[in-house]
Amino acid sequence: MATRRPLTPEEIDAFWASVGGEPAKKPAKTTKKSAEGDGETGTEE
């Protein structure tokens, strides 16, 4: 029977370091989409 063990915070950090970083969080993605629709951004260009 396989054994299962939750990860410690240190192991989680080590995991993300080894796989190239934690994926972008969904809230950050939502903010970016909002910025793209901002009319002021276009004005600056």
Partner 1 sequence: MASKHTITYADEIFIGRGFFAPMVAEHGKSGIPIRGLTKVNFGAVETLDADGIVSSATGAELPNAETVTYTTADDGTSPFDNVATPAPADVVMADGASYSVWTLDVARNVTAAVGHSSAVVAMTVLVTGFDQWGQRMSELLTLTAGSTSKTAAGKKAFKHILSISITAATNAESNTGFNLGWGDVLGMPYRLDGASDVLSAFCDGTMELASCTIVAADATDPATTTTGDPRGTIDFNTASNGTRVYAAWIHVADPNDTDGLRGVAQA
CA distance 23 to 4: 24
Judged by beta carbon, residue 6 or residue 42, the one nearer partner 1 is 6
Q: How far is the CB of 4 from partner 1 (least distance, A)?
A: 5
Tokens 């029977």 correspond to 1
Closest approach, Cβ 45 to partner 1, in A, equals 31
Where along the sequence are the contacts to partner 1 (CB under 8 A)?
Answer: 1-7, 11-12, 15-16, 18-20, 22-23
Q: CB-wise, 29 or 41, nearer to partner 1?
A: 29
22, 28 contact by CB (below 8 A) = no
Q: Is 33 helix (H, G, I), strand (E, B) or coil?
A: helix
